[in-house]
Amino acid sequence: MEFTARASILSLIFAVHGNAQSLPNSFPLVDPSGFIETYNVNDASLDLTGAFFQSLGTNGRSCSSCHRPAEGWSVSAAEVRLRFFFTQGTDPIFRTNDGSNCDHNIDTSTLQGRMAAYSLLLSRGLIRIALPVPANAQFTVINVANPYGCGDMETLSMYRRPLPATNLKFLSTVMWDGRESSPQTGTQKITYATNPADLMADLAHQAIDATAGHAQGANPPTAAQIQSIVNFETSLRTAQAIDFRAGLLNNDGALGGPMTLASQPFYIGINDSFPPSFGFNPFPAPFNAVIFTLYDAWLNSPIEPRASIARGEKLFNSKPITITNVAGINDVLGVPSLSGTCGTCHDTPGVGNHSVSAPLNIGVGDVNSPLDISYLPVFTVRNNSTGEVVQTTDPGRALITGLWADIGKVKGPVLRGLAARAPYFHNGSAQTLDDVIQFYNQRFSIGFTAQEKADIIAFLKTL
């Protein structure tokens, strides 16, 4: 207990000031449900002075303005609010190029003005991502209803959560819409045959884009800086390590925490859930719905929080979900309804992202989402050949490929280190993991009981 109290004070100080020179390897940092740890695969402390932590542009931001160790290498909206109050809204994350709801007709000269200008960053941890509609798009944007003024129809403003800059080894595509792994942007699709060189090249490209965009760099980073960033971020493995209720997550036979994650085998297509005829898995091994086996040893634990986590893991691996109207699955397979589980889409063993690039629209950005999305812009889009009209809060992958079929599609992210980085989904529409489960329960009529919800939420918090 004394250790926990001391570590929590230390990590709070660390989280707030963030000016230490290095972070001991696997140092426990406090988050809302316990402690998260990052393991450096080079077995060394984490150097907090490298290019990832330096201001490489003109607005004072570094990668660590939006990718922070105590927040699963993303940012949590709660910490962003703390940062706002500590700095009166002057920390470099609060910049008008993409931190504010819109970049023009705003007043950031007063505290009140800044609170209004950065309201989506403060309430949901959202960054404005502006992307042009591709010239060859199969659709036309016929209306943009943006409550914050950024209603341009050629360059669309979306609002997205920073993805974790950790556990990158397991990525099958970079960015929510895969735009850093796409020939359309001069980057490389990640494949079994070319991995990990493709990933490394994409991450280098991403670091250049992030410096030019988020940090408003006048010059691109040097080759040495890019190398430093990519080496650093790809050395990190992050997972929850201690749960306030269940204790050490690698205790008594359990396999939680970043060390087990670091030894998790991975290749593109590992355990892919599409039928073998798609050829996504280079080996003829059948799909196994058992994605996580971290807490098998706790199923009969007399410690109830441990048993609950183990039951939650089992639900993740086995609770039947009838998958309907998911673009990227039902249309691709030609089946109106598919009986699956969480792992149908989160198929990478021990990690939970999709093991091949599989952009999907599960409805998180649809105007009829079961969660509140009233704070987002609505784009009305018309199909150039059929005349069909749809509305969405984020066209997703369609803004990269120009394909009508890709509207609203995003990747399923890595599911480790969740507890430290609320809110969830690309648009932050799930403030908590309870909201995530509520979304799935309503969207797919799963019928979770109250106990099942509690168990699966307890499990997700330990990842």
462 binds ligand HEC (CB under 6 A): no
Region near ligand HEC per CB under 6 A, out of 4-12, 191-199, 258-266, 316-324: 316-324
Distance of CA 377 to the CA centre of its chain: 20
Both tokens of 290, joined, read 């058992």
Both tokens of 262, joined, read 């670091």
- Judged by CB under 6 A, the residue of 360, 373, 376, 407 near ligand HEC is 360
From the list 122, 71, 74, the residue with the least C-alpha distance to 101 is 122
> How many angstroms separate the CA atoms of 142 and 123, rounded?
29
73 binds ligand HEC (CB under 6 A): no
345 binds ligand HEC (CB under 6 A): yes
CB–CB of 286/409 below 8 Å? Answer: no
Region near ligand HEC per CB under 6 A, out of 112-120, 205-213, 244-252, 385-393: 205-213
257 binds ligand HEC (CB under 6 A): no
> How many angstroms separate the CA atoms of 82 and 123, rounded?
11
Region near ligand HEC per CB under 6 A, out of 106-114, 168-176, 275-283, 292-300: 168-176
- Judged by CB under 6 A, the residue of 133, 137, 165, 246 near ligand HEC is 165
Judged by DSSP in three states, 361 sits in strand
Query: For ligand HEC, how many residues bind (rule: CB under 6 A)?
Result: 54
- Judged by CB under 6 A, the residue of 323, 356, 399, 458 near ligand HEC is 323
46 binds ligand HEC (CB under 6 A): no
C-alpha distances in Å from residue 136, one per residue of 3, 76, 199, 327, 401: 59, 37, 27, 21, 9
- Judged by CB under 6 A, the residue of 210, 255, 268, 400 near ligand HEC is 210
Residue ranges with strand state E in 201-277: 236-243, 247-248
Residues near 43 by beta carbon (within 8 Å), at least 6 away in sequence? 25
66 binds ligand HEC (CB under 6 A): yes
- DSSP class per residue in 108-135: -SSHHHHHHHTHHHHHH--EEEEEEPPT
> How many angstroms separate the CA atoms of 118 and 4, rounded?
34
User: Which spans of this chain sit near ligand HEC (rule: CB under 6 A)?
Assistant: 61, 63, 65-67, 98-99, 127, 129, 160, 162-163, 165, 168, 171, 174-177, 203, 206-207, 210-211, 214-215, 229, 233, 316, 321, 323, 326, 329, 340, 342, 344-346, 360, 362, 364-365, 410, 412-413, 415, 418, 424-426, 436, 440, 456, 460
